[in-house]
Amino acid sequence: MLRCMATIGLGFLMVAAVGWPERTALGDDERADLLLVLAADVSRSVDDRKFQLQREGYATAIVDPRVVRAMTAGPAGRIALCFLEWASDGEQVTIIDWTAVGSEADAQAVSKQIREAPRAFMGRTSISAAIDYSMTVLAHSPFAGPRRIIDVSGDGTNNSGRPVTAARDAAVAEGVTINGLVILSEVPLPTNPMHTHPPGGLTAYYENNVIGGPGAFVVEAGSFEAFGQLLVSKLVKEIAEHPIARRRG
């Protein structure tokens, strides 16, 4: 049974100290069915070829008709999303700031920005800092909705920054769900084989250390080539709030 469980800014520290800010009397321009942070690993184990496959996977999945239908099917008719990339502790960048996606045109605009943005980092792997940065991003969102999800994709274990379980537990305590998309590597990283191939496998590592919150789940892509299609089905189920068991792609 699955465990359901980028510079850390002042906003995150304030949220951690005083809790999630309450919202009242939301206007239509603030409502969304889901606040979704897509957090993609661009550490040094993600070489240029893998980076392009990952970027293309996100850009293609966002405009897939199945994903667009899921994003527009809720009561508000849209979700709000943010796309960021991360590497070492202190290396996080927001590629797409908070954007409401309530139509195919909205999705196409996001997809174009994902494809065109330059790569910022090739550092170590701080999943913990990615989660902390995502919490800062969520705290400053102009949108509000009934669910908040951080969607972490990566191909290795946490090896930079504070313990990933501490970051996960802090996010879950604020009512945020963290889901994972593990990208397997056929060959262990030569300089650090335990990073991409930890004991028990990378998927088990994410299950035990990364994901958390109501309905949290992790899916497994057998390669960066398989990433895009698996991401489509994952996003559809995630947005539609139908938790799924581990799936291998």
Cβ burial of 191 (10 Å; 0-12, 13-18, 19+) is exposed
End-to-end CA distance of the chain: 19
Residue 69 lies in a domain: yes
How does pLDDT run across 90-121, given as a tens digit for each residue?
Answer: 999 999 999 999 999 999 999 999 999 999 88
In a domain, 11, yes or no: no
Specify if 18 maps to a domain: no
Q: Is residue 211 in a domain?
A: yes
pTM, two decimal places? 0.85
pLDDT in tens, 129-188: 999 999 999 999 999 999 999 999 999 999 999 999 999 999 999 999 999 999 988 888
Asked whether residue 17 is domain-assigned, the answer is no
The answer to whether residue 170 is domain-embedded is yes
Task: Report if residue 56 sits inside a domain.
Answer: yes
Whether 5 is covered by a domain: the verdict is: no
Identify the CATH number of the domain in which residue 118 sits. Answer: 3.40.50.410
Structural domain for 234, as ranges: 31-239
Residues 6+ apart with CB under 8 A from 76: 31, 32, 33, 102, 145
Domain count, the chain: 1
